[in-house]
Amino acid sequence: MQLARTLETLRKTVATLKSDGGTLALVPTMGALHEGHMALVARAHEVADHVAASIFVNPTQFGEGEDLDAYPRPEAEDCAKLDAAGCDLLWMPLPSEVYPQGFSTTVRVEGVSGGLCGDARPGHFDGVATVVAKLFNQVMPDVALFGEKDYQQLAVIRRMACDLDFSLDIVGVPTVREADGLALSSRNAYLSDDQRQRAAALPKALSEAADTIIAGGDVGVTLDTAIAKLEAAGFTPVDYVELRDADSLVPVTRLERPARLLAAARIGRTRLIDNIAVVPV
Ligand SMILES: Nc1ncnc2c1ncn2[C@@H]1O[C@H](COP(=O)(O)OP(=O)(O)OP(=O)(O)O)[C@@H](O)[C@H]1O
Ligand SMILES: CC(C)(CO)[C@@H](O)C(=O)[O-]
Ligand code: BAL
């Protein structure tokens, strides 16, 4: 695996990789890699000839008081995992390669960036869209892969890629979960043993609510019940539990076409997110 830390090295390495006429996939990450990330790399090998990953803990998507400094950065382990997974290139830019002196541009995707995590983390999706636009222009992949775990992020990136005419495919990859249903996340490392046990209430509440809604249960009542279950498990505050259209992310009060049930809640100092498909039968 080639490691690039400057744009000059990146461009040379990408040109060499693509010189055989093969396609290139990009898996953007913030590192602290787990099996969820590795599922994106595995899928990338299926959809492209060459695979690049990026690791960059992007400061502009963290709000004030969030965990930018505490975010785990196990660089050597991450490199070893990507190498073992057959990654051809790791783009691990120096911050000055992403945000050089005088950087003044923001990419804002209206609509899908609003509500849900957009309300709880003001400016977060501006930071995500801006850095992902930069990563696309830097690596110039033919396809980029993102996890459904960050469902609103995936919708924001799809909208941005379409609106800004990025000439690449966006592939969403299903959420990889622990045996008790908890979605793998780098932030799970912050959980104490007790919090980790309680955290399984999040996927459980979503799955029970999805079943109730599919069976014809009232959406408002069902969402309130899910919130109460999360609070009983020790989540506080529950930022949201909402049913949205699966494509547009517009709020849904009746299940008439494929929808997505999304939630975010804090347990101790850790904010967890999750979502599940809710499809009418
Ligand atoms: N459990 C998972 N299953 C599938 N994809 C995942 C999973 N967790 C993260 N991803 C995807 O990996 C990519 C990189 O995510 P990131 O590096 O932020 O990891 P993370 O575990 O989501 O970390 P965080 O705790 O910051 O949310 C994103 O596209 C994200 O959706
Ligand atoms: C897409 C991303 C790499 C942009 O920093 C990040 O938001 C993430 O890891 O999901
Ligand atoms: N996994 C999305 C990145 C973030 O929470 O900042």
Report yes or no on 181 lying in a domain: no
Q: What is the biggest distance separating any 2 CA atoms in the chain, rounded to whole angstroms?
A: 57
The answer on 150 and 25 residing in a single domain is yes
pLDDT band, residue 141 (cuts 50/70/90): very high
Model ipTM value? 0.98
Within 10 angstroms of residue 162's Cβ, the number of other Cβ atoms is 11
Residue finishing a domain among 173, 198, 222: 173
Number of domains in the chain: 2
Backbone φ, ψ for residue 12 (5° rounding): -65, -45
The answer on 121 and 35 residing in a single domain is yes
pTM (predicted TM-score): 0.98
Tell me: the pLDDT tens digits for 99-136?
999 999 999 999 999 999 999 999 999 999 999 999 99
The answer on 195 and 168 residing in a single domain is no
Per-residue tokens: 225: 């019940």
The answer on 238 and 192 residing in a single domain is yes
- Residue 117 Cβ contacting ligand 2 at under 6 Å: no
Residue finishing a domain among 173, 200, 233: 173
Nearest CA to ligand 2 atom 7: 128
Per-residue tokens: 233: 């498990």
Report yes or no on 127 lying in a domain: yes
CATH code (residue 224): 3.30.1300.10
The answer on 12 and 147 residing in a single domain is yes
269 burial via Cβ count (<10 Å: 0-12, 13-18, 19+): exposed
Counting ligand 3 atoms within 8 A of each CB, the residue from 56, 124, 186 with the most, and so the one to mutate, is: 124
The answer on 157 and 217 residing in a single domain is no
Report yes or no on 179 lying in a domain: no
The answer on 228 and 252 residing in a single domain is yes
Ligand 1 pocket, Cβ-based, cut-off 6 angstroms? 29-30, 36-37, 39-40, 146-147, 149-150, 173, 175-176, 183-187
The answer on 206 and 168 residing in a single domain is no
Concerning whether 37 is annotated as a catalytic residue, the answer is yes
Report yes or no on 154 lying in a domain: yes
Counting ligand 1 atoms within 8 A of each CB, the residue from 186, 188, 266, 275 with the most, and so the one to mutate, is: 186
Per-residue tokens: 83: 């190498």
Q: Which atom of ligand 3 is nearest the CA belonging to 149?
A: 1
Domain that holds residue 265: 186-273
Report yes or no on 134 lying in a domain: yes
Q: Which amino acid does the sequence have at 95?
A: P
Report yes or no on 65 lying in a domain: yes
- Residue 61 Cβ contacting ligand 3 at under 6 Å: yes
Residue finishing a domain among 145, 173, 201: 173
120 burial via Cβ count (<10 Å: 0-12, 13-18, 19+): middle
Instruction: Indicate the pairing of strand 169-173 with strand 259-267.
Output: unpaired
Report yes or no on 279 lying in a domain: no
Q: Which atom of ligand 3 is nearest the CA belonging to 187?
A: 5
| Contact call for residues 9 and 93 (beta carbons, < 8 A) | no
Report yes or no on 243 lying in a domain: yes
Tell me: the pLDDT tens digits for 172-230?
999 999 999 999 999 999 999 999 999 999 999 999 999 999 999 999 999 999 999 99
Q: Which of 37, 45, 50, 124 is catalytic?
A: 37
CA of 31 to the centre of ligand 2 (A): 9
| Contact call for residues 269 and 190 (beta carbons, < 8 A) | yes
The answer on 120 and 229 residing in a single domain is no
Q: Which amino acid does the sequence have at 255?
A: L
